[in-house]
Amino acid sequence: MERFDIDRFNKRCNSLSNVSNKNRNMAFDRFEWPKDIDENEWWYPRELLTVYGSDYYDENNIEQLIKLSKAEMVNQFSLNIHNERILINEILMQIENGNLSAEACDYLHHFVEEENQHMWYFNKFCRKYYGKVYGMKSASIGKSDFAEISNYLVFARIYIFEEVGDFINREVSKHQGVNELVRNINKAHIEEESRHISFGKAYLQHKGEELLATLKLESKDALKNSINSYMRLMVESSYNPSSYKDSGYSNCLKMRSDLIEFNDRNGRNKKFVQSPSKFFEKIGVI
């Protein structure tokens, strides 16, 4: 991969800031919010359901599958709410610690503004049409005694989360069988997240080159393990026992375990982290 020097990185940040300025969309008046949504509409494509193709998938019980499509879309929106709140805090801390260029800090303020608006419309949808937001267990990508590694892991975590979300957003937004508002929210999220992903890749490549040049083998292995573990965590967060319970399933913890194992075997789980996996491999981090 072509070397990514600091001047090029800063130019990328300036470009992203300019695009954010030109394409600012206020979420608060971006969508039409109907009073109700038809109970028979899908919110999540059936092909993305965690039960798809398994013994838990019963085409004769379409009503339960539609309920699950709602619960699993709300679970994804809820994960966005919680993770974006966490990443906003982490980004602000990175800005304050003085280790980033002025160009990077300027763009990250756009980043924070956009993520705050995303949280608002995900939260509004969940509470208005589903009555709640799902909780999320606290999760960490890991820490290191070396500040440089810990800082790198912050941005790695953000990038992985956003790549997984982008995969889901693109699949949902193009699926004509899904409710129009749900598709529009997913489509809107793609537009701004693409810039966030671009920043993340630029930063991780730029800093990764510096980091790998100084790390001992055991520290490189620890970095690799932390990144792989977080990608796995992002995949498994889609399997929420509460969403199964709300959809009328029983023995939901066993169901979760069965489905993770089933989708590991059929390759479904790898699809969600295919893009970040290839990127980290390409820059030599994993």
Tell me what percent of the residues of the chain surpass a pLDDT of 70.
Answer: 94
- At residue 139 the predicted structure's pLDDT band, cuts being 50, 70 and 90, is low
- Is the pLDDT at 140 greater than 90? The verdict is no
Over residues 201-211, the mean pLDDT reads 89
Residue 29: inside a domain: no
Q: What tens digit of pLDDT does each residue of 265-277 get?
A: 999 999 999 999 9
Residue 32: inside a domain: no
Query: Average pLDDT over the chain, rounded to whole?
Result: 91
C-alpha span between 29 and 149 (Å, rounded): 40
Over residues 131-143, the mean pLDDT reads 74
Please tell me the predicted confidence (pLDDT) of residue 145. Answer: 53
- At residue 97 the predicted structure's pLDDT band, cuts being 50, 70 and 90, is confident
C-alpha span between 283 and 278 (Å, rounded): 9
Residue 187: inside a domain: yes
Q: What tens digit of pLDDT does each residue of 47-66 get?
A: 999 999 999 999 989 999 99
Residue 156: inside a domain: yes
pTM of the model: 0.91
- Is the pLDDT at 239 greater than 70? The verdict is yes
Please tell me the predicted confidence (pLDDT) of residue 29. Answer: 80
Residue 31: inside a domain: no
- Is the pLDDT at 4 greater than 60? The verdict is no
Residue 243: inside a domain: yes
- At residue 1 the predicted structure's pLDDT band, cuts being 50, 70 and 90, is very low
Residue 90: inside a domain: yes
Looking at the structure of the chain, the number of domains it has is: 1
Over residues 149-168, the mean pLDDT reads 93
How is residue 162 written in tokens? Answer: 């956003």
Left (φ > 0), alpha (ψ -120 to 50) or beta: where does 53 sit? left
Residue 19 is part of which domain span? 6-23+41-282
Q: Where are the extended beta strands (E) located within the chain?
A: none
Higher pLDDT pick, 76 / 6: 76
Instruction: Specify the residue for token string 């969600």.
Output: 272
Q: What tens digit of pLDDT does each residue of 14-48 get?
A: 999 999 888 776 677 889 999 999 999 999 999 99
- Is the pLDDT at 170 greater than 90? The verdict is yes
- At residue 6 the predicted structure's pLDDT band, cuts being 50, 70 and 90, is confident
Measured N-to-C along each axis, helices 62-96 and 102-129 cross at an angle, to the nearest 10 degrees, of 150
Residue closest to 34 by CA, chosen among 125, 112, 118: 125
- CATH number for the domain that contains residue 257: 1.10.620.20
Please tell me the predicted confidence (pLDDT) of residue 192. Answer: 80
C-alpha span between 213 and 209 (Å, rounded): 6
Residue 28: inside a domain: no
